[in-house]
Amino acid sequence: MNLREVQELFFGLITAPESVPKTLEARGETAREAVERIFAGDERMRSEERLDAYANMYFFRLRDVLAEDFERTAAVLGEARWHNLVTDYLLVHPPARWSLRWAGEALPAFLRGHACGAEGPWLADVAALEWARNEAFQAVDADAMHVDELVDVHPESWPTLTFGAVPGTALTSSGWDLAGWWIGGGTEPPAEAAGSQVLLVWRDAADDVRHEVLRGEETEAVRRLIAGAPFAEVCEAFAPEGTGEAEAEEAGRKAVELLLRLIELGIATLPETPR
Amino acid sequence: MRRPEGGERRGDRSEEVLTRAPFLGHGLGLRREHYAAILAGEPAGDWLEAISENYMGVGGRARAVLLAVRERYPMTLHGVSLGIGGTDPIDEGYLDALKALAAEVEPAWVSDHLCWTGVGGRTSHDLLPLPYTEESLANVVSRVAHVQERLGRILVLENVSSYVGYRVSTMPEWEFVAEVARRSGCGLLFDVNNVFVSATNHGFDPRTWLAAIPTESVWQFHLAGPSEMGPLLVDTHDHPVRPEVWELYREAVRRFGEASSLVEWDDHIPELAVVRAERDKAAAIAREILAEVRP
């Protein structure tokens, strides 16, 4: 057996769903013989028990890291169900990237299709919000724009002007009032939202992660603005094409108000110096 | 930024490369739980070691603290995910991120572990022991060369604790580690606690290590406290340094001479003063032993 084969055997055993002794029992005598031929134990502890120490550390490390990343989700599920969820999750989405901070990347979507998520469909939305907040907390630094940078913009340039958002800014949506539930901090289900509740998540200038509810047309306007759409398209989110001059003017005013708010919140960025 | 003093530099390249360890003194591992105390000016020893992955490609508060602390202390970067003994290709994106962080932090050196972490595109986020064979040795040496070339600096490698051994090994761990250092030119981070943990788990005399390791290869010592898990000792960094480890550290200082030491504490982390007291003990022992061997 070459080095790679040894590592594949080791890794397969410590990441198996069952303990190493149980896994070997299921795999049969040949597997056990291979382990005894390659790994060393002694009278205090057999090699398979020693490998099992790694298996335990693999699982418990990830379970605990994920519980930190999804603190609210784990609290709602309770210890036993969280343990089961993570067990199932790691079998489908074992960590593949060099930092533990990405280990939970697929957990919100996984929870949506898992029995734990089916019990309370809102819980996957909580997990998605927690993940968005984690991403915002760790996102790389970037300078948010200042309102003074718009002073010299020629009026004719405004329709084609584009903006962005500081890294980590995200929109999450839910059919439940997660914003209210988050403040309450309980484990009971949140109230249903009237329609879909969209939350804007970002990290502010003091490096605190915040989220707030977007309402009505501003949701689409924010979506367009942070995606780098020309400002004219941001305005159109408030007044679809073909509406009258007065409505278009009102839409422009609302779009500027929104932009100023995003600047004040430390979210908006300017990819290029406007002229 | 304060730069470490000492150490030899190779050639007259504009980017100078340290080929021998500078002496940083006796330091602590930088941990989130101590950010506030350190920023408030509470002493944290002579230098700090930051976990590389906690700051690679990361912004916000963690990065701001790292850079603020770096203004006050010499620092090294200590990684856990390089997987130098692995058989998957080295993650070039990882090296890019590490190199970018090193350019920003200007660490005295960059270290990681002499182990493997995963295979087949998956990672355990653990420090898994290698079989000590010629194949494994050649693999590590070749990968160290690549990493050192990419980073433009000497890589310092730490011996890991292990809980299982390999019947297929053809040499003892200390011989393997010494050979890695000789053939690759890497530095060694001699983790005194890991030697003690592995010696306990596998039943060898930890002092065997001391005679085997080339003295000029040792750049740094690590000190930490393990936990008991049944008959095993586990490298949990959640207890004070054990008396047996202090004793082994004394012998290591006697053998390897003046090398920077660092106390790690990663779980159930006490207040900074408690960790600092361990660091003070390491400094006092080094002073005492060096006074003996340098009359």
Residues of A numbered 158-187 whose beta carbons fall under 8 angstroms of chain B's beta carbons: which are they? 167
pLDDT at A193 over 50: yes
- The domain spans of chain B are 23-293
| Helix residue spans in B106-206 (DSSP H) | 134-151, 173-184, 192-202
Tell me the chain A residues in contact with residue B164 when contact means C-beta distances shorter than 8 Å: 39-41, 47, 50-51, 53-54
- Cβ–Cβ of B125/A2 closer than 8 Å? no
The single-letter DSSP state of residue B90 is P
B122: enclosing H helix or E strand: strand B122-128
- Residues B20-28 have a mean pLDDT of 92
| pLDDT given for residue B294 in this prediction | 76
Residue B4 confidence (pLDDT) above 70: no
Tell me how close the Cα of B139 comes to any Cα of chain A, in angstroms.
9
The rounded mean pLDDT for chain B is 93
Could A45 and B94 be called an inter-chain contact, meaning their C-beta atoms sit closer than 8 Å? no
- Write down the pLDDT at residue B17: 58
Residues comprising chain A, all counted: 275
Distance, C-alpha B22 to centroid of its chain: 14
Q: What is the mean pLDDT of residues B40-54?
A: 97
A50 touches chain B (CB under 8 A): yes
A39 touches chain B (CB under 8 A): yes
CA A64/CA A233 separation, integer angstroms: 44
Which candidate, B282, B274, B284, B279, places its Cα nearest to that of B37? B274
Task: Answer whether residue A29 shows pLDDT above 50.
Answer: yes
Q: Of A3, A14, A207, which is closest to B61 when you measure between CB atoms?
A: A207
Of A109, A58, A22, which is closest to residue B123 (Cα–Cα)?
A58
Instruction: For residues B159 and B171, give the distance between their C-alpha atoms in angstroms, rounded to a whole number.
Output: 15
The span from the CA of A217 to the CA of A238, in Å, is: 6
pLDDT in the model for residue B19: 62
Q: Mind spelling out the 3-state secondary structure of chain A?
A: CCHHHHHHHHHHHHCCCCCHHHHHHHHCHHHHHHHHHHEECCCCCCHHHHHHHHHHHHHHHHHHHHHHHCHHHHHHHHHHHHHHHHHHHHHHCCCCCCCHHHCCCCHHHHHHCCHHHHHCCHHHHHHHHHHHHHHHHHCCCCCCCCHHHHCCCCHHHHHHCECEECCCCEEEEEEECHHHHHHHCCCCCCCEEEEEEEEEEEECCCCCEEEEEECCHHHHHHHHHHCCCEHHHHHHCCCCCCCCHHHHHHHHHHHHHHHHHHHHCCCEECCCCCC
ipTM: 0.93
Instruction: Report all structural domains of chain A as residue ranges with CATH numbers, in order of start.
Output: 140-275 (3.90.930.50)
Contact B164 A95 (CB under 8 A): no
Reported as a pLDDT band with limits 50, 70 and 90, residue A275 is: low
Q: Write out pLDDT tens, residues A52-110.
A: 999 999 999 999 999 999 999 999 999 999 999 999 999 999 999 999 999 999 999 99
How close does chain A come to B162, measured CA to CA in Å? 9
**The pairing of beta strand B260-263 with beta strand B218-223:** parallel
Q: How far apart are the first and last CA of chain B?
A: 35
pLDDT of residue A188: 86
A positions 212-271 inside 8 Å of B (CB) = none
- Rg of chain B over CA atoms, in angstroms? 18
Mean pLDDT score of chain A, rounded to an integer? 94
- Residue A111 pLDDT more than 60? yes
Q: Quick check: B11 pLDDT over 60?
A: no
Cα–Cα distance for residue pair A38/A272, rounded to 1 Å: 60
CA distances from B182 to A30, A85, B137, B178, B212 (A): 39, 47, 11, 6, 12
Whether residue A203 and residue B60 make contact (CB cut-off 8 A), yes or no, is: yes
Residue A119's pLDDT band, with cuts at 50, 70 and 90, is confident
* A99 close contact with B: CB closer than 8 A: yes
pLDDT surpassing 60 at residue B13: no
Cβ distance B124 to A54 less than 8 Å, yes or no, reads yes
Which residue would you say has higher pLDDT here, A184 or B59?
B59
Residue whose token pair is 């106390």: B263
- Judged by CB atoms closer than 8 Å, whether chains meet at A53 and B87 is answered as no
A98 to B123: CB separation less than 8 angstroms, yes or no: yes
Q: What is the pLDDT of residues A225-246, one digit of tens each?
A: 999 999 999 999 998 766 788 8
> What is the predicted pLDDT for the residue at A242?
66
Residue A162 contacts residue A262 (beta carbons within 8 Å):
no
Report the sign of the C-alpha dihedral through residues A158, A160, A161, A165, in that order: positive
What residue in A sits closest to B132 (Cα-Cα)?
A3
Show residues of chain A in contact with B137, CB under 8 Å.
none
Give the gyration radius of chain A's Cα atoms. Answer: 25
**What is the DSSP pairing of strand B75-78 with strand B110-113?**
parallel
Q: Which of B61, B120, B124 sits opposite A8 (nearest CB)?
A: B120
pLDDT in tens, B146-168: 999 999 999 999 999 999 999 99
- d(Cα B147, Cα B138) in Å, to the nearest integer? 14
Which tens digits make up the pLDDT trace of B203-246?
999 999 999 999 999 999 999 999 999 999 999 999 999 999 99
Name the CATH superfamily, with its identifier, for domain B23-293.
Divalent-metal-dependent TIM barrel enzymes (3.20.20.150)
Q: What is the pLDDT of residues B92-148, one digit of tens each?
A: 999 999 999 999 999 999 999 999 999 999 999 999 999 999 999 999 999 999 999
Q: Residues B235-290: pLDDT tens digits?
A: 999 999 999 999 999 999 999 999 999 999 999 999 999 999 999 999 999 999 99
The first and second tokens of residue A55, run together, are 């298996």
Which of A267-271, B49-53, B131-135, B137-141 shows the lowest per-residue confidence on average (mean pLDDT)? A267-271
The Cα angle at residue B266 between residues B204 and A47, in degrees rounded to 5: 35
**Binary contact (B123, A95; C-beta < 8 A):** yes
DSSP SS3 for B22: coil
Chain A, residues 186-205, CB within 8 A of chain B, namely 203
**Residue A186: pLDDT over 60:** yes
Task: Give pLDDT, residue A273.
Answer: 66
**If you count residue pairs, one on A and one on B, with CB atoms under 8 Å apart, how many are there?**
122
